Chain A
Amino acid sequence: MAAAFKTVEPLEYYRRFLKENCRPDGRELGEFRTTTVNIGSITTADGSALVKLGNTTVICGVKAELAPPAVDSANKGYIVPNVELPSLCAERFRSGPPGEEAQAASQFIADVIENSQMIVKEDLCIANGKLAWVLYCDIICLDYDGNLLDASVFALLAALKNVQLPLVTINEETGLSEVNLKQKNPLIIRKHPVATSFAIFDDTLLIVDPTAEEEDLATGTVTIVTDEEGRLCSVHKPGGSPLTGAKLQDCITRAITRHKEVKKLIDKVIKSITPK
């Protein structure tokens, strides 16, 4: 009976639950799904991580290549993020060139990297004007069950924390670069941005970490990215229901709390894989 009601009146079905301050999957309105992270899942990549937020699964691989820096920023390397939503991850995505959602997510990730200054591009430079690292950060969604942005930002952060770059020196006599694969150094991560998303229901109710179903029924979403000092790296509200400043403040406060939890989790995972 409940299943039939859900099919016919999905929004009303949700409202009945929300009235009781819970959701059909048993969570409270402010409760996140179980978050799991696996670091170094792709052995052939320079850094990788797999993040699961409930059913949502996102994998991020970082590939490092060498290239000459751009002429106008001779002391900077490059970071090239890309988000892919293949047709395997959900029914609504078609194969072929990236759709609007994938492109918007890629731009969002690029903005988060730039805004938070998690990696200073000068750190990626090896020889001024001659050689720099290019980090290709490919984020692929394997299972789309809502809240792609949170999972992607988390996977990116975890993968970057896992990156080990070989030592590269430039031979002064020949002018050629020499790669020392035996000596590897981790990347310097200056800030740890963490994203927290909310869905707005019926213009007033804020629910945290929405599933794909909840995102479809919601009247809007908000994503807040904070760093460890509680500064805002991004406030991303792409249209949807209007919110008051007070509600936005409420989101930010919750995002700061969420940052602490995620940071604790990532520190724990990193500690568990570092050789003693």
Chain B
Amino acid sequence: MAVEMEVADGQCRLRPFSCELGLLSRPDGSAAFLQGDTSVLAGLYGPAEAKISKELPDRAALEVLLRPKVGLPGVLERSREQLLRQTCEAVLLGVLHPRTAISLVLQVLSDAGSLLSCCLNAACMALLDAGLPLAALFCGVTYALQPDGAILLDPTARQEQEARAVLTFAIASSDRKVLMATTKGSCSVEEMQQCLAAAQRAASTIFQFYRDSVRRRYSKN
């Protein structure tokens, strides 16, 4: 049930995207998201009964686990888990499921650049597949600023290494606002704004891809 696509956004191109929904049987929602050679598998459990220590009286407690491809999760994974969790919390209508727990597990299958944006996309698709109530959708977009000043959409691992700065944004589907932003390397304010504007444009293409994937999943054939 994979949907393949390649999109052009000015000179910048996204790598071929592919997404498969509901491929795992045990989780309540699951998604595999591929961006070029980067791939992340997401599984979502819940809303289920929460441990008393983690229970929140007014909303669902969301837990995000990010598992690296090899080894145990470290400090970097922990800080990314925080980014992902707070991004999901911003769109998830947790107040509709108070005193429950939702856990989202993301397993990195291969990292070939733009990993955080791929994790964000996989997380959103898993939320969508589980049918949880959301205020908006979000997508992850990564830009790399090359030494000559050119901006590159959805960079590969090699392009990320050569880049002066790498910026990742999570864009909300409602009026294209910034849900999450994180940067690596230093850049000027103008460059950041340029990347942000480009990310907001690229988001439309990704949301269209979401729409196509979901339509494909629920079409009869």
Contacts and interface: CB of A to CB of B under 8 A. Distances in A.
B169 to A, nearest CB: 9
B86 A238 contact: yes
A236 interface: yes
Interface string A106-121: 1110110011110000
Contacts of A241: 90
Interface string B63-100: 00000000000011011011111111110000000000
A216 to B, nearest CB: 13
Interface stretch (A44-52, A122-130, A136-144, A245-253): A245-253
Contacts of A100: 78, 81-82
Given A115-B184, A244-B177, A104 B192 contact: no
A177 interface: no
B183 A245 contact: no
Contact of B183 (A104, A106, A115, A220): A115
Nearest to A107: B79
Interface string B20-59: 0000000000000000000000000000000000000000
A8 B175 CA distance: 34
A103 B80 CA distance: 10
A100 B54 CA distance: 14
A111 B200 CA distance: 25
A235 B81 contact: no
Nearest to B78: A103
What interface size band does chain B fall in? 35 or more
Interface in A237-272: 237-245, 248-249, 252
Contacts, number: 107
Nearest to B178: A243
A85 to B, nearest CB: 13
Interface string A89-113: 0000000000011011011101100
B170 interface: yes
A239 B170 CA distance: 8
Nearest to B187: A232
A233 interface: yes
Nearest to A227: B186
Contacts of B172: 242
Given A240-B86, A240-B90, A245-B197, A107 B78 contact: yes
B193 interface: yes
B119 to A, nearest CB: 13
B179 A242 contact: yes
Given A103-B75, A230-B189, A239 B180 contact: yes
Contact of B186 (A110, A222, A233, A237): A233
A234 interface: yes
A108 B76 CA distance: 9
A248 B78 CA distance: 25
A6 interface: no
B85 A239 contact: yes
Contacts of B175: 242, 244
A104 B78 contact: yes
15 contacts: A107-B79, A117-B186, A219-B90, A232-B183, A232-B192, A233-B183, A237-B179, A237-B182, A238-B182, A239-B83, A239-B86, A239-B87, A239-B180, A242-B178, A243-B178
Interface of B: 75-76, 78-79, 81-90, 136, 165, 167, 170, 172, 174-175, 177-189, 192-193, 196-197, 200
Given A103-B75, A230-B189, 4 more contacts: A219-B90, A222-B181, A239-B87, A244-B175
